[in-house]
Structure 1
Amino acid sequence: MPDPTPIAPRAAPRPAMTILLDTSIPHTLDTLVERVAAMPGVQVQAWVFDDVATRRAAEQRLAAAGVQAAIHSAYKPLLHFFLDALALEHDGGRLAAAGEISVRLPAATTAGQSQRFRLEAYPLAGMLPQGSLRLSEGDDERHYVVGLDGIAHRVFVPLAASGAPCGWLRLSRDGAVLEDGPLATEYELAFAAAMDAIRGHAWGRQGPCFDVLRIAIDTGGIERRLSYQDECISTREALHEDLYFSILEFFQDRAGLPRGDRTLQPGQIVPEVRHAQGATRVRVALLPHPHVAAVTPADAAAAPLSPSALAGLSQPLTPEAVAIEMQALGGKRFSVLSTQGRMVHGTHIEGSLPGLVISGGQHANETSGVVGALRAAHALKQRPHAHFALIALENPDGAALHVQLREDNPRHMSHAARYTALGDDLEARTAPPFVEKAARLEAIERTGAGLHMSLHGYPAHEWTRPLTGYVPPGFETWTIPKGFFLILRHHAGRNGMAFMQALTAQLAASPDLAAFNARQLATWGNHAGEVPFPVLNGIPCMIFEDSRSTVPFTLVTEFPDQTVYGDAFRLAHTTQMRAVLAAAELYWAGLLG
């Protein structure tokens, strides 16, 4: 039986709190207005990470002081040109009548930069009339050139030496340039301050280095929902992403591991970026693991949702609600303890058909698979001779953090909740103590599974890391949505093509899913080019040999579910359920040999 033992207790308890940094950074625009208001007659152009209302208010304050100012967004400058200068979401008729809209991209100076500028233009292709946007290579390193109604509009791109977006200030008087160069903004300074505090701390050599590393930043910035699908512009969300992955990379480098390694266990990294006005406050602290309340008999006896209520869910389930649903399924139950003391619940439904394992919530901010797995399990229980094990939520510590982060930022992707409380991806554990992964290993052992269905999701809107180059390193093909897709991993000598052809044909029979995928793939094509793997029946599929698991076939589902609610969330978990049910029947029919 796999070892379910949690991580051994440390020799000494963690202190209640260790403060690494507590500082405030003045609001850049306030400082800038105070400075240039004393320079009447100067012309100001500035690029900052503030929303349009804050930028316009600063322009008005300067105008009252006799200073002409134009203050732009340093983040996604091309998209903001269409939103602010061309009123894309308020005057669509003008753009619809314009016919072709050409955009010449800034000239690429490094490998991959051209693709980055195409992605930075996202989601214009989805917001403009279909087929009207044409992106092409340009020859100006610092400008997008927009061709509209016979006029060429030059859109400046403020770039740091690293290639990341940055603040910029240009001052002139009577045609003479007084200043033209980078402007350190509170957005960039907050990130740098947090990272410097972490790099400068005396970390121990033995991991985990901490229980919880909390980076709390209260700041302004942009938080703007767009009219295309789930898309948004959020500098606070982007700061969370930059902090989380940069800190993870710091500890990977320190341990001598490659970037993107998923085995490292530094501890739980928790950036919490909240809205505030005025100065930006940055606090970095080490905290003990949160106290996890014991589940009482009353909690365990709480009523589960009916099948129709599950089908109608418009938002993710909490870990406590998942525990109740798992108990209601019956079967032979098994469980292990998570790092922070939560139960990972599994159940085994015995039958004479070949064994199947279904799991969800490995990455706990990917929430539709949890609901889809529960719905599928209820249906499979009614199927004669069905034989399967279910772990609806493999990472309850991450899920609890996701609940916490969603309180302030419900529409952020919150990748800090992706991995376990140890900071690793549970699937990457290859030796005891397995902790949360022990439940998966037990499910495989109980069923002798020939197929493991691991239900996942990915960002439902654009994923960026602006302060570290814009496109998330190592996740270049995940930065914008490409619809629901599938990954089939198989052992050497196996072939799953017939299975995937049949599975995608069944899934594509849903008009809602077919339309959803067609729309997202079209926008992907406009901005990112061809999808880098086969598309079967309108569903992208990756099929490759992989022996990481003892199970000969692992089917991974990927629905762009992070941050969605309402009808979008229902389509996500319904698609996850349909994928499980269809794959199970094809597997039991022998299509995987």
Structure 2
Amino acid sequence: MFRNGELIHEERIETDVEKIWDVYQQQILPDIRDYVDRKTAGRQDELPDLQPFFNKLEITVETSEPNERLNSREDLLSSLDGLHEDMYFVGTDYFKNYGYEKCGEITDAPGLILPRIRKVNGRGAYIKAAVFAQQSDQPEIKAEKAVITRLVDYDDLDVRLMGLYFENGKVIASVRVEGVPDELVSSYAALMDRGILSVGSEIDDVDAVEFCTESGKYRAVVSPATAPEKNMDIRDVKIAENELMGYEEYMDIIAQLKRVEGLKVYRTARSYKGRSIYAVEFRPDRRGYVSRTKRITEYPTELITSRHHANEVSSTNSAFMLIKALLTNDKYRELTEHMNLAVVPMENVDGAAIHYELQKENPHWKFHVARFNAIGKEFYYEHFKVHTIHTEAVSLRRLFMRLLPDVIVDDHGVPSHEWEQQFSGYTSPSFKGFWLPRSLLYGYFFHIAGDEYRSSLDLCHKMEDVIADAFLADEEITRENLMWARQFEKYAHGWMPKLFPASYYKNMITYWIPHVYDPTHRYPSVRYPWILSVDYVSEVADETAQGKYLYSCARAHLVHDLAVVDMLMKAGKVYDNCEELVDGSAAVKHVRKRPVIAQ
């Protein structure tokens, strides 16, 4: 305060959000650190293997702060949305640094850090934190008088398929098992034989499994699950195209799709919390056994994955819209005579369950807490690990090895409004380039640099063309793309082009991410470039999108997904055929060369 130009009083008055933030930083995070210190005492050199440290850290916040939608695009005026982002990301960064400090490795799966923030008019600064412990550090069965834990370490276990053979008209799978006591193998086979184990209903085209150890053989009859009757028309499947879907809504549609002719719906994995991840595969109208090996050899294969980051919501809607479009449009009647296609409508099922509950209170926040899995892990780092507690990651690896796809399209999303974190330098420290949306939809191609896989890069460029042309032919998408681009140019790219890059091609932004071949890389196109020709990630501005805008985002995904399907259906294929007859023995080879040739 000044009087006659003279300072007479100076005092800084904290806002309620600042008071809440100080409590979080100065009390809650140090307290939870002390808890983790005590829990891991004497074992801190192995911290990464001791994760998660807790099941959930729940922070409840109530205060009266701005939280309103603006009459401009999807924009918000909400310090609470920003506070939610700060609490989550600063919390996860806190534990990454904790691991690095204690043992030289980041710990990026500490447990779920879950802010629950509500605007309450007239409320001051209220914050409460509660930590929920894991019931156990490892899987176990608790009986009345005993606790049964894992008897064998994964590293000591060796299970492999040795072969298939016929016996009395039945197909028997011979499986070699090492590193497991015979008593356990015998019990496992007995449970499977009685139909108690779910794995027994998930094995196709085999009548029995014979487990072979050094000292014995144990046989189990496969009990195929009762296939649902194919008595539902895809037109009758209730797909809410403009409604945000949670896990339960997704499972309801999956149950309906199991009854639709022409689709094979199967579980690919269970998540960390035990929820089911499904693939929907288009199957040819054939009787009897359909050889996957022959189909992969004859036709190109595409895998479309959706909702890896669960707050990027529209790809689940678009996945179901795509399935419906392909089954109802006569243009795609012969789809399976030209290509193989599988769709995963929801990969991060635990994140989707978290997100769905949070958006009920605040339906337009970004909610990056649901970006990762149930204990805070970005599980794409785990995709090709054989043993991982982040079991949702297993889905992609299993599908990749099963399908050997030529093309993967990974449908993602970004915020639909400003990504601000007021206590972290205003923009998100780890995602500065995503401060503002730049387009309704843009994309990334991950490819191998150099000449060895030049033909795969040529296919990527052709795919860029067909997607861009499909968008140019759509007036609504073109209008939206240009509107977002003008804003991005004015406030971001025009000022700081290195931080906010934008390379336009036919009104569409595409980023090219070159890599050197690496057999240990997490991206399949870098790890297996001789198999996967195209690895494309699409991004729409859809985080927690709702209503008509959600439908607009889903339709953008749908348009580019259909464009890629069209390209693959018309693609040319080159085969390497060879016949040899030497000393009375014959050898015949029929190999499809990769990549396909886009027309």
After the TM superposition, which residues 105-254 of structure 1 pair with which residues of structure 2 at under 5 Å, given as runs?
171-180=1-10, 182-196=12-26, 197-201=28-32, 202=34, 203=36, 204=40, 205=47, 206-254=50-98
Deviation at 1:262, TM superposition (A): 9.7
Aligned residue runs from structure 1 range 581-592, under 5 A: 581-590=562-571
Pairing 1:475–2:434 present? no
In 2, distance between residues paired with 1:474 and 1:371?
28
| Mean CA deviation greater in 207-216 or 193-202 | 193-202
Which structure 2 residues correspond to residues 55-454 of structure 1 after superposition, within 5 A? 171-180=1-10, 182-196=12-26, 197-201=28-32, 202=34, 203=36, 204=40, 205=47, 206-256=50-100, 264-276=108-120, 277-287=122-132, 307=235, 313-329=241-257, 330-350=263-283, 352=295, 353-381=299-327, 382-384=332-334, 385=336, 386-429=339-382, 430-431=384-385, 432-433=387-388, 434-454=390-410
Superimposed CA distance per residue, residues 398-435 of structure 1 (whole angstroms, 9 cap, x where no aligned partner): 11111110121111111111110021112121422250
Q: 2:56, 2:111 within 8 Å by CA — same for their partners in 1?
A: yes
Structure 2 match to 1:565: 546
Q: Cα deviation per residue 1:335-380 (whole Å; 9 max; x = unaligned)?
A: 3211112111223334543111111111001110111112112333
CA distance in 1, matches of 2:340, 2:106: 31
Query: Could you tell me the TM-score, scaled by structure 1's length?
Result: 0.65
CA contact 2:443–2:510 (8 Å) conserved in 1: yes
Are the counterparts in 1 of residues 239 and 253 from structure 2 also a CA contact under 8 Å?
A: no
Structure-2 change in CA distance of 1:271 and 1:189 (3 Å) = same
CA distance in 2, matches of 1:226, 1:304: 43
**Post-superposition shift, 1:466?**
0.4
Kindly indicate whether the alpha-carbon contact (under 8 Å) linking 1:215 and 1:272 is maintained by their aligned counterparts in 2.
yes
Is the Cα contact below 8 Å between 1:311 and 1:574 reproduced in 2? no
Deviations 1:161-204 (A, max 9, x none): xxxxxxxxxx2234322244643222112112112321333213
What code does the residue aligned with 1:231 have? D
One-letter amino acid of the structure 2 residue matched with residue 185 of structure 1: T
Deviations 1:549-579 (A, max 9, x none): 1434221111111232222111111111111
Q: What residue is the counterpart of 1:28 in the other structure?
A: none
Aligned to 2:561: 580
Structure 1's 424 and 534: CA in aligned 2 closer, same or farther, altered over 3 A?
same
Kept in 2: contact 1:262–1:428 (CA 8 A): no
Report if the CA contact (8 A) 1:482-1:521 is conserved.
yes
| Code of the aligned partner of 1:423 | G
Runs of 4+ residues over 4 Å off in structure 1:
303-312
Amino acid at match of 2:486: A
AA aligned opposite 1:286: V
Which among 537, 559, 563 is matched to residue 506 of structure 2? 537
Q: CA deviation at 1:332?
A: 4.7
For 1:310 and 1:504, the matched residues in 2 are separated by 31
Alignment CA distance shift 1:221-1:545 (3 Å) = same
1:119-147 CA-to-partner distances (Å, cap 9, x unmatched) read xxxxxxxxxxxxxxxxxxxxxxxxxxxxx
Question: 2:472 & 2:132 partners in 1: Cα distance?
Answer: 47
Larger radius of gyration: 2
Match of 1:556 among 537, 548, 566: 537
Give the 5 Å matches for 1:516-535. Answer: 516-530=480-494, 532-535=501-504
Tell which deviates more after alignment, 171-180 or 467-476. Answer: 171-180
The code of the aligned residue for 1:580 comes to D
Following TM superposition, by how much is the alpha carbon of 1:310 offset from its aligned partner in structure 2, in angstroms?
A: 6.1
Structure 1 314/383 Cα, relative in aligned 2: closer, same or farther at 3 Å? same
Q: State the distance in 1 between where 2:244 and 2:133 align.
A: 27
Structure 1 residues 387 and 327: CA distance shift in structure 2, 3 A: farther
Mapped partners of 2:319, 2:478: distance in 1: 21
Matches of 2:416 and 2:380 in 1, distance apart?
A: 23
Change (3 A) 1:244 1:463: same
- Shift in CA distance, 232/393, structure 1 to aligned 2, threshold 3 Å: same
Tell me how far 1:264 sits from its aligned partner.
Answer: 1.9
Q: In 2, distance between residues paired with 1:262 and 1:475? A: 18
Distance 2:63 2:19 in 1: 11
State the partner residue of 2:442: 485
Amino acid in the other structure paired with 1:236:
L
Q: Give the deviation of 1:468 after TM superposition.
A: 1.4
* 2:420 partner SS: coil
Unaligned runs of 5+ in 2: 41-46, 136-224, 258-262, 285-294, 495-499, 516-520, 573-594
CA apart distance, 1:283: 1.0
In 1, Cα distance between the equivalents of 2:430 and 2:491? 18
Change (3 A) 1:468 1:332: closer
TM-score, normalised with respect to structure 2: 0.64
Q: Compared with structure 1, are the counterparts of its residues 192 and 587 closer, same or farther at alpha carbon in structure 2 (3 Å cutoff)?
A: farther
Amino acid at match of 1:198: L
Where does residue 168 of structure 2 map in the other structure? none
Contact 1:358 1:454 in 2 (8 A): yes
Greater relative contact order, per chain length (Cα 8 Å cut-off, separation 6+): 1
Residue 144 (structure 2) aligns with: none
* Shift in alpha-carbon separation, 1:556–1:388, aligned structure 2, 3 A: same
How big is the shift at 1:288?
5.4
For residues 254-309 of structure 1, what are the alpha-carbon distances to aligned partners after superposition, in whole Å with 9 as ceiling and x for unaligned?
1229xxx998211111111111233221111112589xxxxxx9xx99x9996588
Whether the 8 Å contact between 1:186 and 1:280 is mirrored in structure 2 is yes
User: What is the CA distance between 1:397 and its match in structure 2?
Assistant: 0.8
2:461 matches 1:497? yes
Question: How far apart, CA to CA, are the structure 2 residues paired with 1:383 and 1:236?
Answer: 50
Alignment check: 8 A CA contact 1:304 1:324 kept: no
8 A Cα contact 1:263 1:428, kept in partner: no
Higher mean C-alpha deviation, range 542-551 or range 314-323: 542-551
Q: Is the 8 A contact 1:326 1:392 kept in 2?
A: no
Give the superposition deviation at 1:526: 1.0
Task: Give the whole-Å Cα distance in 1 for the aligned partners of 2:369 and 2:342.
Answer: 28
Change (3 A) 1:253 1:533: same
* Cα distance change on mapping 1:488 and 1:588 into 2, 3 Å: farther
Q: Cα gap change, 1:323/1:312 in structure 2, threshold over 3 Å: closer, same or farther?
A: closer
Residue 411 to residue 262, structure 1, CA distance change in 2 (3 Å): farther
> Structure 1: where are the runs of 5+ without partners?
1-170, 291-296
Q: How far 1:333 moved relative to its partner?
A: 1.4
Letter in 2 for 1:336: A
User: What letter matches 1:368 in structure 2?
Assistant: S
